A and B are shown apart, each in its own frame.
Chain A
């Protein structure tokens, strides 16, 4: 053991304390032997009074109250809610659920029950929509996830620095009642698959629901078939403990009656001169609490009266510890360090934290670097574009200038032509006025010509 190997440089001799740590870890069978070797069994000469210790413990438990969580897994309509109502003798208000859910969901409800001075916080978790889908491959996943989530919540609370475990509402599932439909043949594949995935996480008690649909002989065969199937597939169901003498006998006999064939009913029917819980059929009355009719009384006794504490203990010491071990190992914590020296949780945790900080630092640097690079690239591109634009602008300007010059040139030419034309016009006008004087004689001739026939007229025209 790690603690007894590490030498403590303290100035005290604790010759018994170190040895007793080894002692308590042995099984109770070895305790007698150990006692003789390490610690003295002292006899007292008078009455001390610590026989009241169990009572003190019980008083404290009463003050704190108890907590019990049941998970009911079964198809819709198989009678889960009714059975819970019957078990605890109350009508937990619940309406029938529909068959048309696309996925399996879990519905948890917590109730506070009180019987004489014992307070019980009961949480009932029902599967809604189990076995209703057409494709049932993922049906068991939500259930396993839920169970794991409860363990995880407890583990988180336990690993906290400021924790309050003694008033933590324990929501870990203590028992799973698996409802098997009374087909009379064998387990369905879905049942097998679900039970196999749950058996290492929770205490499973299989029950045959709606047992009034099977006759006695069929029931026997069915039970044997079921148990053999479970055993051959390696499904570990909860075995009632047989190590304590007071309850060993009854537990052992009950182990042989598994799975229990149960009927649930909150309706009361008059049988004889008493009102009993029963289901009334035209061919008879099936009584819930009659041991000949069904195993309901056995289930109630085993679940609540005899083994509730053991179920809780198994959940805490076996299933939860397994989950915790797997989870921590997954995270990288081990008990044995690289050189086979005991490594503490804190060391690993510190190392991981260091690593994490280093990693984060590195990532930050990387991101900064990338950011700077991107900015630079963007800048370069923008500059490039700017340059292009500038070049275009210059080009256009040049073109414009050229066009303008051309136009100026044309304008000049046009103006010259206009001037030339004006000159021509002026000269032609001068010509005209000059030609009018001789043309006056011409005019006379014209007049004469007018008297005369046309050929001279034609000549004049040509002259002008």
Chain B
């Protein structure tokens, strides 16, 4: 064992007894068995199962549903093909689907939220509001559960852990809609931008496009995941800077298998060749999958819980600290986050409270 250090006792409230501060290092010999706690943690985690919530945002036809199917190797969504009789959606509607997938004893409850209709209208002003509203709604739900008196043993986590944003492969730079949306979203949730349908770009075009997007992100101060400010130590920074160099990933999604050189691979078959999804030379899908699932899933959840959720909570609880009889006092029970999408009810609420204030005065 390494030498023992005595560290200062927790807190300094008067009811707690103080302890001496001088740490004489002691030698420890032999086996105690503290290591076994890791196994205990693992067993408990596997028994409880894991939860993960993803949101995919992008214009229709960019391959979002296909990408989700490819990521999780299953038919989550039926990819919608445009057909004549189906009208385009007038307003943005979010659809969530939850599935439980299991691999080698690990159970994962996966919730995928799709946003069909994003950016499809002629006037896309404020099309991000329902999405932001949905995200805030999940935070609100968690907060309400957390401040109950009799809480559940395990609060169900429906907060969005990661938002994948699909950038259309124009080859130029980020569009105004993209910039607006990313600016608003990156403060509230972990955003991972990807270049969709990357098979329409050559490798050089892809690299140039990537550099331009990175420059745009820097210019507009958009912090995408993995955020630089949350790097904890040198290892994290090294690993994450490698990832940051490659953001946004150029991905291709496919859910059909084809025969290539005798192997069965996932890919898209075209007249000029087969684009293999898993091939790093063709597209960067493996990087995205590794980032999301194999290495950073827990980190995504942690940052959502420790940073984004806490920020939301601070704002929310601060709202209630506006002194009564002030002009801005709003009743908390109906969540104010819905005010943007339903302006009328909130105005009514404000009016009644102002009249109440007047009565009090």
Q: Report which A residues bind B (CB closer than 8 A).
A: 2-3, 8-17, 20-21, 23-25, 28, 35, 38-63, 66, 87-93, 105-116, 118, 120-121, 123, 145-146, 149-150, 153, 161-163, 165-166, 169-171, 244, 246-247, 300-301, 304-310, 313, 317, 321, 324-325, 328-329, 333-335, 344-347, 349-350, 353-354, 357
Asked whether A149 lies within 8 Å of B15 as measured between CB atoms, the reply is yes
Contact A344 to B147, CB < 8 A, known contacts A44-B103, A46-B73, A111-B5? yes
- Interface size of B by Cβ–Cβ distance < 8 Å? 110
B7, B50, B134, B321: residue with the most chain A Cβ atoms closer than 10 Å: B7
Asked whether B95 lies within 8 Å of A13 as measured between CB atoms, the reply is yes
Closest to B50 in A: A53
Of A9, A42, A118, A305, which contacts B101 at CB under 8 A? A42
The complex places the Cα of A66 from the Cα of B297 at a distance, in Å, of 21
Which chain B positions have C-beta within 8 A of A23? 156
Asked whether A54 lies within 8 Å of B45 as measured between CB atoms, the reply is yes
Contact A48 to B101, CB < 8 A, known contacts A25-B156, A42-B76, A56-B297? yes
Of A10, A87, A112, which contacts B137 at CB under 8 A? A10
Which chain B positions have C-beta within 8 A of A145? 15
Chain A binder among B167-175, B217-225, B338-346:
B338-346
Interface assignment of B8: CB less than 8 Å from any CB of chain A: yes
Which chain B positions have C-beta within 8 A of A317? 153
B1, B41, B44, B324: residue with the most chain A Cβ atoms closer than 10 Å: B41
Which chain B positions have C-beta within 8 A of A111? 4-7
Interface assignment of B86: CB less than 8 Å from any CB of chain A: no
Q: Report which B residues bind A (CB closer than 8 A).
A: 1-2, 4-11, 13, 15-17, 19-20, 24, 26-38, 40-48, 50-51, 71-74, 76, 91-106, 108-109, 111, 130, 133-134, 137, 141, 144-145, 147-154, 156, 158, 232, 266, 289-290, 293-299, 302, 306, 310, 313-314, 317-318, 320-321, 324, 332-333, 335, 338, 341-342, 345
Which chain B positions have C-beta within 8 A of A49? 103, 289-290, 293-294
Asked whether A350 lies within 8 Å of B109 as measured between CB atoms, the reply is no
Contact A335 to B149, CB < 8 A, known contacts A51-B106, A93-B24, A118-B34? yes
Q: Which 3 pairs across A and B sit closest by C-beta, in order of nearness?
A: A309-B40, A171-B10, A56-B298
Of B72, B100, B232, which contacts A39 at CB under 8 A? B100
Which chain B positions have C-beta within 8 A of A115? 1, 31-35
Asked whether B33 lies within 8 Å of A300 as measured between CB atoms, the reply is yes
Of A21, A28, A113, A166, which contacts B1 at CB under 8 A? A113
Of A108, A112, A149, A329, which contacts B4 at CB under 8 A? A112
The complex places the Cα of A44 from the Cα of B104 at a distance, in Å, of 12
Which chain A positions have C-beta within 8 A of B130? 10-12
Asked whether B28 lies within 8 Å of A3 as measured between CB atoms, the reply is no
Of A48, A110, A325, which contacts B8 at CB under 8 A? A110
Which chain B positions have C-beta within 8 A of A92? 4, 26
Closest to A357 in B: B324
Closest to A171 in B: B10
Of B17, B94, B299, B342, which contacts A9 at CB under 8 A? B342
Asked whether B37 lies within 8 Å of A308 as measured between CB atoms, the reply is yes
Give the Cβ gap from B193 to chain A, nearest Cβ, in Å.
Answer: 22
Closest to B320 in A: A346
The complex places the Cα of A21 from the Cα of B140 at a distance, in Å, of 13
Which chain A positions have C-beta within 8 A of B147? 344-346
Asked whether B35 lies within 8 Å of A113 as measured between CB atoms, the reply is no
Asked whether B28 lies within 8 Å of A88 as measured between CB atoms, the reply is yes
Which chain A positions have C-beta within 8 A of B36? 304-306, 308
Give the Cβ gap from B321 to chain A, nearest Cβ, in Å.
Answer: 8
Closest to A22 in B: B156
The complex places the Cα of A306 from the Cα of B47 at a distance, in Å, of 16
Give the Cβ gap from A130 to chain B, nearest Cβ, in Å.
Answer: 14
Which chain A positions have C-beta within 8 A of B17? 105-108, 146
The complex places the Cα of A393 from the Cα of B294 at a distance, in Å, of 103
Starting from the known contacts A48-B289, A50-B101, 14 additional A-B residue pairs (CB-CB under 8 Å) come to A9-B345, A10-B130, A50-B103, A54-B42, A108-B16, A110-B19, A112-B5, A121-B7, A123-B10, A161-B321, A171-B11, A309-B37, A335-B150, A347-B333
Which chain A positions have C-beta within 8 A of B310? 163
Asked whether A113 lies within 8 Å of B34 as measured between CB atoms, the reply is yes
Closest to B317 in A: A161
The complex places the Cα of A299 from the Cα of B73 at a distance, in Å, of 47
Of B26, B109, B148, which contacts A90 at CB under 8 A? B26
Asked whether A120 lies within 8 Å of B324 as measured between CB atoms, the reply is no
The complex places the Cα of A133 from the Cα of B148 at a distance, in Å, of 43
The complex places the Cα of A300 from the Cα of B19 at a distance, in Å, of 26
Q: List 18 A-B contacts (CB under 8 A).
A: A41-B100, A41-B101, A45-B74, A48-B293, A56-B297, A89-B28, A90-B27, A93-B26, A108-B9, A112-B6, A113-B34, A115-B32, A115-B34, A304-B32, A304-B33, A346-B147, A346-B317, A346-B332
Asked whether A146 lies within 8 Å of B37 as measured between CB atoms, the reply is no
Asked whether B16 lies within 8 Å of A149 as measured between CB atoms, the reply is yes
Asked whether B47 lies within 8 Å of A28 as measured between CB atoms, the reply is yes
Asked whether B293 lies within 8 Å of A90 as measured between CB atoms, the reply is no
Of B47, B91, B313, which contacts A11 at CB under 8 A? B91
The complex places the Cα of A329 from the Cα of B306 at a distance, in Å, of 27
Which chain B positions have C-beta within 8 A of A123? 9-10
